[in-house]
Amino acid sequence: MKIVVLVKQVPDSGLERHLSSDFTVDRASASNVISELDENAIEAAMALADAGQADEVTVLTVGPDHAVETIRKALSMGPDKAVHVQDDAIAGSCAVTTSAVLAAALGTLEYDLVLCATESTDGAVGGMAQMLGARLGVAAMTGARKLTVDGQKLTVERQTEDGHETLTASTPAVVSVWDSMNTPRYPSLKGIMAAKRKPVTTLSLSDLGLAPDTVGAAGATSKVVQAEPRPPRSAGQRITDEGEGGVALAEYLASQKFV
Amino acid sequence: MDFRLTEDETALRDAVAEFATEKVAPVIGDYYERGEFPYDLVAELGRMGIFGAPFAEKYDGAGGDYFMLCLALEELAKVDSSVAITVEAAVSLGAMPVYRFGTDAQKERWLPRLCRGEALAAFGLTEPGGGSDAGATRTKAVLDGDEWVINGAKCFITNAGTDITEFVTVTAVTGTGADGRPEISSIIVPNGTPGFTVGQKYSKVGWCASDTRELFFDDCRVPAENLLGERGRGYAQFLRILDEGRIAIAALATGLAQGCVDESVRYAGEREAFGRPIGTNQAIQFMIADMEVRAHTSRLAYYDAAARMRAEQPFKRYASVAKLHASNAAVDNARAATQVFGGYGFMNETPVARMWRDTKILEIGEGTSEIQRMLIARDLGVG
Ligand SMILES: Cc1cc2nc3c(=O)[nH]c(=O)nc-3n(C[C@H](O)[C@H](O)[C@H](O)COP(=O)(O)OP(=O)(O)OC[C@H]3O[C@@H](n4cnc5c(N)ncnc54)[C@H](O)[C@@H]3O)c2cc1C
């Protein structure tokens, strides 16, 4: 089985992040890292490779020049090669146009399974797997906490607010994962040293047959027109125990579906 | 000339730093308190290839070099020294003698599992009667047919008694040399060999999650082919091993010294006294500035020694300089950091308290500070 893992470079969510004056993510001044959940997607792919169920794992990234750092990091975890779609005209893309670029890039690759994160840690739109499924005409199983492969049959435990549901599909398919699926491996020293030698193919829009005005800021289907900082945390709700404290606590937790 | 790291070195350092803060820091206090060996952390470091860092890929090593090992040790020791010394001793004392001096058969037999971190090996040089004067070994090995018969004892041996320890390389007197001095050789003794007893764990001041044992040899027989390298080369072998090992200990000490800086910077900003953060006091600022100077110069010293070793230049003196300076720095920084932490600095649950306990051994192990001074002076032609 051939797997393609989608990987995105994002500003480090542990540090201060900013928007540029046009309300796109300021990637130039940020400290950029691999979107955290993408590591779970890579781990899922590598676990299948380790189990002998995948014979090729490719990393696919759409991003500026410096996204190659993230590609190296991803490759150090074990994948065999990478494809980097890089074109200045892509800057300012919305999720929908990005999915068009990814779908076109996937069209140039062989795959049985496309793995990605359920959402990125920057935009957190959470719709990529669905859009790719639609564009590629294959099943999209989203929000997976477990994935098993049996020949051409994929079984996914989809995490929901109340528990999980089981979905099946046959390959080829797109599966998006949550961090509950696995614990990503740390890159090994061998993996780090091998990453430099692994092939990275760079593709431009013209390689993909896409017109520049269909993507990027020009083709975007949505545009951020205003942004405000997150309001400060509210004080929270205080329960004073006058004999009924436990009940009040339990009721609160139940109302929030924690119990 | 500069000491900037390559892309690979940076990526390795970052990966180990992440592992240390995410995986080691949350659990090591408990291991330490219980005096337990952290098998799960060792296994994960094995998967990361840290135990195989300086070894060739044909033995399942990572194909890196000794400096990469040092970078990993520094990052681990920023958080904890028990895990760091476990790796240091496993690689530089356990596997390295076999890698450097072993026959092809010995390398093929022992190295792959050591490189993968699935097994550990130890190096037994120090004896109850003396460590600094390692040439005065009393342990004896006599060739009887095709077997060595070993009698004697070793003490303070790191990694000698874990569940995954496969062998200890011991130095023993195997005869008298042409110059009339004792002939010393190194012999591989697999754990579990009849006549080889591993003692109880010591109760130690520090490095409490690391394994340190006394070893006893009572008519212990191993095959003649377990001789490591040439007969009579034991002394020269361990001098080489210890020279390199000092760079690794310097890296570990640098990590501890830097960990003290990092913890102190954080605490000085958080802790308030007299209505303001303690870091607003010049007394604290200067203490931390001095700590940073010591940590940074320690790093430069070990980078330099490692660079000389990599360039195959003489590095002995510089390894001793680095070890002496960095272990001093570690002790000084741990003393200062516990002071910055006040009463909390005296509580075992505070990381700097653990660093304080872990630091003293750095002035003792792999050559005491006095021995480093002797070596430096001798190399300068004094005395
Ligand atoms: C936790 C731990 C782990 C260890 N792990 C290992 C291991 O894995 N393998 C191993 O072989 N050993 C190991 N050691 C032993 C360690 O290397 C020795 O303790 C060290 O070399 C000092 O030897 P010693 O303890 O016999 O002290 P001694 O040699 O008895 O020295 C006592 C004091 O005398 C000083 N001194 C000695 N000779 C001179 C001199 N000529 N001039 C000036 N001062 C001198 C020393 O500096 C020291 O201050 C370990 C020790 C510890 C505590």
pLDDT digits (tens, 9 = 90+) for A108-152: 999 999 999 999 888 788 889 999 999 999 999 999 999 999 999
Write down the pTM of the prediction.
0.91
Alpha carbon nearest to ligand 1 atom 6, residue: B157
Tell me what the pLDDT averaged over chain B comes to. 97
Q: Is the pLDDT of residue B6 over 90?
A: yes
Among candidates B119, B77, B74, which has minimal Cα distance to B98?
A: B119
| CATH no., domain B7-120 | 1.10.540.10
Q: Where does CATH 1.10.540.10 sit in chain B?
A: 7-120
pLDDT at res. A259: 79
User: What pLDDT is stored for residue B1 in this prediction?
Assistant: 74
Residues of chain B with CATH 2.40.110.10: 122-232
Q: Is B215 in the pocket of ligand 1 (CB under 6 A)?
A: no
ipTM of the complex, rounded to two decimals: 0.88
Q: State the pLDDT at residue A30.
A: 75
SS3 A33: strand
CB proximity A259 to B under 8 Å: no
Residue-level pLDDT at A91: 87
8 Å CB contact of B68 and A73? no
B64 vs A72: CB contact, 8 Å cut-off? no
The domain defined by B122-232 folds into Butyryl-CoA Dehydrogenase, subunit A; domain 2 (2.40.110)
Q: Tell me how close the Cα of A68 comes to any Cα of chain B, in angstroms.
A: 13
Query: In a mutational test of the pocket of ligand 1, which residue from B368, B373, B382 has the highest number of ligand atoms less than 8 Å from its CB?
Result: B368
Buried b (16+ CB within 10 A) or exposed e, B320-336: bbbbbbbbbbbbbbbbb
Burial class (CB within 10 angstroms; exposed 0-12, middle 13-18, buried 19+) of B204: middle
Above pLDDT 70, what percent of chain A? Answer: 100
Q: Which residue of A has its CA nearest to B55?
A: A190
Band the pLDDT of B48: cuts 50, 70, 90.
very high
Domain residue spans in chain A?
A: 2-214
Q: How far is the CA of B78 from the centre of ligand 1 (A)?
A: 24
Chain A and chain B share a number of CB contacts under 8 A equal to: 46
The predicted model gives B126-136 an average pLDDT of: 92
Which residue in this structure is represented by tokens 């001041």? B205
Residue of B nearest to A197 (CA): B8
* % of chain B with per-residue pLDDT over 90: 97
Sign of the Cα torsion A226, A230, A232, A236 reads positive
- A187 and B52 in contact by Cβ < 8 A? no
Judge residue B215's burial from the number of C-beta atoms within 10 Å of its C-beta, 0-12 exposed, 13-18 middle, 19 or more buried.
buried
Nearest to A20 by CA among A33, A11, A8, A7: A11
Name which of B186, B170, B174, B173 is nearest B125 in CA terms. B170
Q: What is the CATH number of domain A2-214?
A: 3.40.50.620
pLDDT in tens, A24-41: 777 777 788 899 999 999
Contact A144, A178 (CB under 8 A): yes
Q: Is B126 in the pocket of ligand 1 (CB under 6 A)?
A: yes
Those residues with Cβ within 8 angstroms of residue A66's Cβ, 6 or more apart along the chain or in another chain: A9, A27, A32
Q: Is the dihedral of CA B33, B34, B39, B40 positive or negative?
A: negative
Q: Sorting pLDDT into bands at 50, 70 and 90, what band is B275?
A: very high
Per-residue pLDDT at B302 exceeds 80:
yes
- Within 10 angstroms of residue B179's Cβ, the number of other Cβ atoms is 7
Atom of ligand 1 nearest to the CA of B154: 11
Burial class, B139, CB count within 10 angstroms (exposed 0-12 / middle 13-18 / buried 19+): buried
Say which residue, A254 or A240, is predicted with more confidence.
A254
For B191, counting Cβ atoms within 10 Å of its Cβ (0-12 exposed, 13-18 middle, 19+ buried), the class is buried
User: Predicted confidence band at A233 (pLDDT cuts at 50, 70, 90)?
Assistant: confident
Q: Is B292 a catalytic residue?
A: no
Strand locations in chain B (E): 120-124, 140-144, 147-158, 165-176, 182-190, 196-201, 212-223, 227-228, 272-273, 276-277
In the prediction, which pLDDT does A62 show? 95
* CATH 1.20.140.10 is right for the domain spanning B236-380: yes
Residue located nearest, by CA, to atom 35 of ligand 1: B370
B→A contacts (Cβ < 8 Å), by residue, are 7-8, 11-12, 15, 18-19, 44, 47-50, 52-53, 57, 62-64, 68
Closest Cα to residue A49, out of A8, A73, A7, A81?
A81
CATH 1.20.140.10 in chain B, residue ranges:
236-380
Alpha helices in chain A (DSSP H): 36-50, 67-76, 95-107, 128-136, 189-195, 205-208, 216-219, 245-255
CA pair distance B345, B283, nearest whole angstrom: 17
Average of per-residue pLDDT across B324-339: 98
